[in-house]
Amino acid sequence: MDQEMSYGSDYKFIPATSIGSGVGVTVAPDVYCHTIQIVNIGLIGAPKSNEFVLIDAGMQGSADDIISLTEERFGEGSRPKAILLTHGHFDHVGAIIELVEHWQVPVYAHEQELPFLTGKTSYLEPDPTVEGGMVAKMSAMFPNEPINLGESVQALPSDGSIPFLPEFRWIHTPGHSPGHVSFFRDSDRVLIAGDAFVTVRQDALYKVLIQEEEINGPPRYFTTDWHAAWESVKRLEELKPSAAITGHGVPMSGDHLSNGLQKLANQFDKVAIPDYGKYI
């Protein structure tokens, strides 16, 4: 794995934080969610075991934090079996090259996300004109050029299974990005939803604010296919998740989650789809 890996040429540190930064929440005994600035990562696997994976790879410059967090939970010198990506947006792959170099582990993502992870295709530009206040305006500075993970990244198996995570399956939930996936465990109905929906107010995403809980559609400035995004939310709602970790905001569970998700699935056109913007 010593071929050249590189971040996109517009890679940069994004000065944004939330009050959740540095905080972790246990969602199930073996499912842990931790907030890096404004984005969440997941660690799945029993604490102190050697069988675990990392979901998503945080913000730019967060590799040392992720490594020490991992060692705290799983033991000194521990490393995940793999890094699984919900998608390849800058705030989910910010530390991935340092992590792959440090751990020498494979990365898995959906086949349709690979062009954005192997330096071939840029994401469409974030839309700073979309309805969404401050965050939307700020999105003009968000990187959208592809990173190149070379041969370190490979496609998830087409049968829905996930390497090193036999109890979970992946579900294609496009719309926010073409190869966006969510991860689901049928036995306890734990869902890792990435950015298919989020549990924080959109205008609070990138600000130092209380991240008031509110189920919301995918982050607007990057979502380019709203029809697919709606279908994805309906698919996730049908799973009746008992608990959900999303890419942004605190994990939610129980009635709070099911009521919010049902409302989002039913009223996605009113709640999630912005009134204006160039990808509407």
Binding site for Zn ion (CB under 5 A): 89, 91, 195, 247
Residue nearest to Zn ion (CB): 89
State the minimum distance, in angstroms, from the CB of residue 40 to Zn ion.
9
Instruction: Select 74 or 136, whichever has its Cβ closest to Zn ion.
Output: 136
State the minimum distance, in angstroms, from the CB of residue 87 to Zn ion.
6
Instruction: Select 94 or 106, whichever has its Cβ closest to Zn ion.
Output: 94
Per-state percent for the chain, helix, strand, coil, to nearest 5: 30, 20, 50
| Three-state secondary-structure class, residue 274 | coil
CB 105 within 8 A of CB 151: no
Q: What are phi and psi of 126, to 5 degrees?
A: -60, 150
Q: Which among 168, 153, 174 is positioned nearest to 109, based on CA atoms?
A: 153
Instruction: Select 59 or 156, whichever has its Cβ closest to Zn ion.
Output: 59
State the minimum distance, in angstroms, from the CB of residue 140 to Zn ion.
16
Instruction: Select 30 or 180, whichever has its Cβ closest to Zn ion.
Output: 180
State the minimum distance, in angstroms, from the CB of residue 112 to Zn ion.
14
Instruction: Select 30 or 91, whichever has its Cβ closest to Zn ion.
Output: 91
Q: Which residue has tokens 């071929």?
A: 3
Q: Which residue has tokens 């540095």?
A: 22
CA distances (Å), origin 147, targets 6, 61, 96, 205, 232 = 6, 15, 10, 23, 25
State the minimum distance, in angstroms, from the CB of residue 128 to Zn ion.
16
Q: Which among 203, 272, 249, 220 is positioned nearest to 38, based on CA atoms?
A: 249
